[in-house]
Amino acid sequence: MVHDAVAVSAPGKVLLAGGYLVLDKAYTGLVFGLDARIHVVVRDIPTRNGVTLNEIVVNSPQFLGAVWEYGYRLTERHGGIKVTPLRVDADLNLNRNAFVETALGYALNYIATVSSPVIAPASVTILADNDYYSNPTDHANGSATSPRFHNFGVPIAKAHKTGLGSSAALVTAFTAALLTYYLPKSTLDLTTDSGARKLHNLAQAAHCAAQGKVGSGFDVASAVYGSCLYRRFSPSILSNHVEPGQANYASQLRDIVDETGETGKWDTEIRKDAVKVPKGLRLVMCDVSCGSQTPGMVKQVLAWRKEKPEEADTMWTELQQANEGLAAELKALAEFEETSPGYDGLKQCFTRIREGIRSMSEASGVPIEPPSQTELIDACEAVPGVIGGVVPGAGGYDAISLLIEDKDETVSALRKLLAGWKFRGESGGGVGGGRVSMLGVREEMVGVKAEDAESYRQWLT
């Protein structure tokens, strides 16, 4: 069976407010989609008459050696479809990519349980917008001469990520592309509320399995839906189902995705109507090439919260109120009829959030907004047209996010400041100085979407 080629993209993310809090269902996170996208193209692998090929080939041509080949077969006892990684060359070591491999297995198993399609061989190409990775060239500074998809010239494991949520965007776009390619619209249509919900559930399940834990899921939610106010789902939804290949795995996965059976409805809350950006403002991201160990930071914050629950709950409640205040102020300004609203209220929201984050940093001993980031954000906020900034997500040294007036002079002044900025790191903390650069991204309200497969032709091998 020959299918028409399909292409799907999903956005990156920034957790502007709600870092750490989003791990607890009692709190929410204000997450913005970013217009840097992961693109996935699926097309047919032609075979000669009489030749049967159960193989899916995945490649990411922007990186060295980024080719993964998989065989697949139906297992016994309703264990679903087993995906087996293959060697591209018998003399090479087996090349593994946990996110691609897991997402492929979950998608094929769901597809096989809701329809009876022939899962034909396919070629899958993954392309990442340039801002997902740091590069010594000037593409990160918005050069008009940069290619649409930069060739990074290194293995994917050695590429420096900028923290925009590449794994969640990859799993979401990859899953959506396979569903679109193999299933008729009458079975699953991603443009409908029901189709988007099922994609969300399947991508959450695959992403959690690939990273080895049940995360909060805000990154997958924003990849599916774009900017939103997010409240996490109960971990038990995903932590209790059987492992791939075990009896009844495929049917359990279908029940989880379709919200039937014992699992029932997902208790996540995703509110797109609660997030708006006022006209004349935009979000910008600045990459700080130092880096933080996010899992270790999260573990330390949670340990502090367990040890001092009253202190932590007081701080988290105050931060939640500040975060909600920011979302409400943004929405109110977006709906304001006057042409020149004032931004004092927004500035106060950022000040309050940063004060709460620094208090949590000090109490937990975790550098969520370390002094060097405080210095950088303070300098940025002094630039005319900059409303406010935060160290987003789990914090640390990876990046800062700023809300600014969408004016050329504001962007130019920021670029000038960052070009000469000497990020000093922290003495005794093992974090050295690094370069700071503004990425060419801004907020994105739209989540996963279909693309024109023909527009990627020159990057397909």
Alpha helices in 69-132 (DSSP H): 98-114
Give the pLDDT of residue 142: 46
Residue identified by tokens 């917008």 is 129
SS (H, E, C) 129-152: CHHHECCCCHHHHCCCCCCCCCCC
pLDDT digits (tens, 9 = 90+) for 346-397: 999 999 999 999 999 999 999 999 999 999 999 999 999 999 999 999 999 8
Residue identified by tokens 């995906």 is 83
| Helix, strand, coil tally for the chain in percent (to 5) | 40, 20, 40
Measured CA angle at 216 (ends 215, 219), to 5 deg? 95
> Looking at the DSSP assignment, which residues form a beta bridge with residue 59?
67, 125
What is the value of pTM for the model shown?
A: 0.92
DSSP annotation of 125 reads E
Residues 6+ apart with CB under 8 A from 382: none
> Looking at the DSSP assignment, which residues form a beta bridge with residue 281?
405
Domains parsed from the chain with CATH numbers = 6-272+451-459 (3.30.230.10), 281-444 (3.30.70.890)
Give the pLDDT of residue 246: 83
Give, to the nearest 10 degrees, the angle between helix 294-307 and helix 344-364. 80
For residues 229 and 327, the answer to whether their CB atoms sit within 8 Å is yes
pLDDT digits (tens, 9 = 90+) for 48-103: 444 455 899 999 999 999 999 999 988 766 678 889 988 655 555 667 899 999 99
Handedness of CA 73, 453, 199, 159 (dihedral sign): positive
- In the predicted model, what is the mean pLDDT of the chain? 89
